[in-house]
């Protein structure tokens, strides 16, 4: 999902709506998905969120972030980072997934090449959302590989 970035060491870059908070990630995502969980619906004000799961090695966030922590379905903490100025959600981390950050696709500078691979938490999907993209669907988290 290599975008046309000015810095060749950066696979992904993005920012909040007002530009006060920015992120860079040197690693390509290991997974990209539609999340239909109730928390993503509430914090996005939308029926789902599109997330990119990226290794956190070399991840950098600049600017003032507000952090909102909730308990995820695993029972572990989910830390949601948004711009302290405009409130735009930019990324999150999950205690159940150490070593990864989850970027919000809408925060990316170049999102045209984002290609979600699955739908997760479809048990909470809004009944008026119709999925006809042929992607795998999981009522909760997908099974762990390995």
Q: What is the pLDDT of residues 12-58, one digit of tens each?
A: 999 999 999 999 999 999 999 999 999 899 888 999 999 999 999 99
- CATH code of domain 12-124: 2.170.150.70
> What confidence score (pLDDT) does residue 10 get?
66
Give the pLDDT of residue 143: 86
Q: What local confidence, expressed as pLDDT, does residue 3 receive?
A: 39
Q: Label residues 47-58 b or e (16+ Cβ within 10 Å = b).
A: ebbbbbebbbee
Taking CA 51 as the corner, what is the angle to CA 49 and CA 57, rounded to the nearest 5 degrees? 155
Domain ranges for the chain: 12-124
CB-CB contact of 21 with 91 (8 Å): no
Question: Is the pLDDT score of 74 beyond 90?
Answer: no
Determine how β-strand 31-35 pairs with β-strand 118-120.
Answer: parallel
Query: What whole-number distance in Å separates Cα of residue 146 and Cα of residue 144?
Result: 7
| Per-residue pLDDT, 87 | 95
What is the per-residue pLDDT for 11?
Answer: 85
Calculate the alpha carbon distances from 126 to 38, 56, 81 in Å. 9, 31, 25
């Amino acid at each position: 999902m290599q975008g046309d970035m000015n810095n060749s060491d950066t696979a992904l870059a993005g920012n909040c709506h007002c530009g006060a908070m920015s992120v860079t990630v040197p690693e390509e995502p290991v997974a990209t998905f539609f999340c239909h969980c109730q928390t993503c619906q509430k914090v996005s004000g939308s029926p789902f969120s599109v997330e990119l799961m990226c290794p956190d090695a070399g991840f950098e966030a600049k600017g003032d972030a507000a952090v909102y922590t909730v308990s995820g379905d695993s029972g572990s903490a989910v830390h949601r980072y948004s711009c302290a100025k405009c409130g735009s959600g930019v990324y999150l981390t999950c205690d159940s997934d150490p070593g990864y950050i989850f970027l919000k696709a809408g925060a990316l500078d170049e999102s045209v090449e984002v290609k979600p691979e699955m739908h997760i938490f479809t048990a909470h999907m809004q009944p008026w959302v119709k999925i006809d993209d042929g992607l795998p669907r999981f009522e909760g988290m997908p099974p762990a590989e390995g």
